Amino acid sequence: MINKTFTVPAIVTGHPGKWLDLLPNARVVPDTDTLDLFPDAHDLVMHVMALHWALDPVGQLIQCRRALVPDGLLLVVLFGGQTLNELRVALSLAETEVTGGLSPRVAPMPGIRDLGGMMQRAGLALPVADSETLTVEYRDIWHLMRDLRCMGETSAMKERLRSPTRRAVFDRAQTHYANHFAGPKGRLCASFELITLTGWCPDAS
């Protein structure tokens, strides 16, 4: 969609091994707090499915902008705030009913408006934020949570419950999920909001 050829790309990702074969000429770096990128070195930086884990997302965007040459493109893809909304609701209802309390289980993720503002704060020109929600169906809540573990997308919040969750909580959550968020075939629907951000390194021209 962008009429421009990129020759010196860099990729920031939590799964570097998956990108080495796809773009062998790209510099692939892990999504650590301090990115292993050199200033003014790339005409394209892609920050892929990792920004929602960042402790300082604006700092990550600033580091990416500094790694771009003038008129270079930053492309970011991450999970947005509507991701796993169904699971969040089902677990909240179940835990309140079974234990009388509530602990954070699904990490908060940024909304599209917040992300657009972050791009501007990072000094990027012509920022654009787009959102697309993908709906995935699962047989039950346990298959969904197993998928999240395999994706490396389980909760890392410090305030999360440290003791094992009672089986009754998950059984009740399965019931709420099936009652409120089942598809026409009775399978559970899980939403994954993918937000795409684009911004350009300012150029005097």
Boundaries of every domain in the chain: 9-200
Would you call 120 helix, strand, or coil by DSSP? Answer: helix
* Lowest mean pLDDT segment, chosen from 4-13, 17-26, 34-43: 17-26
The predicted-structure confidence for 86-108, as pLDDT tens digits, reads as follows 999 999 898 888 877 656 655 66
Q: What is the pLDDT of residue 155?
A: 61
On the CB side of 167, CA atoms within 13 Å amount to 0
Q: pTM for the whole thing? A: 0.83
CATH of domain 9-200: 3.40.50.150
Q: What is the pLDDT of residue 2?
A: 83
The predicted-structure confidence for 22-40, as pLDDT tens digits, reads as follows 888 899 999 999 999 999 9
Q: In whole angstroms, what is the distance from residue 142 CA to residue 146 CA?
A: 6
| Plot region of 56 (φ>0 → left; ψ -120 to 50 → alpha; else → beta) | beta
Query: Computed from CA positions of residues 74, 78, 196, 137, in that sequence, does the dihedral angle turn out positive or negative?
Result: positive
pLDDT: which is higher, 2 or 85: 85
Considering only CA atoms, which of 99, 97, 108 is closest in space to residue 158? Answer: 108
Average pLDDT of the chain is 87
Q: What is the pLDDT of residue 162?
A: 52
Please give the torsion angle defined by the CA atoms of residues 147, 149, 153 and 157, in that order, rounded to the nearest 10 degrees: 140
The predicted-structure confidence for 159-186, as pLDDT tens digits, reads as follows 555 556 778 888 999 999 999 999 888 9
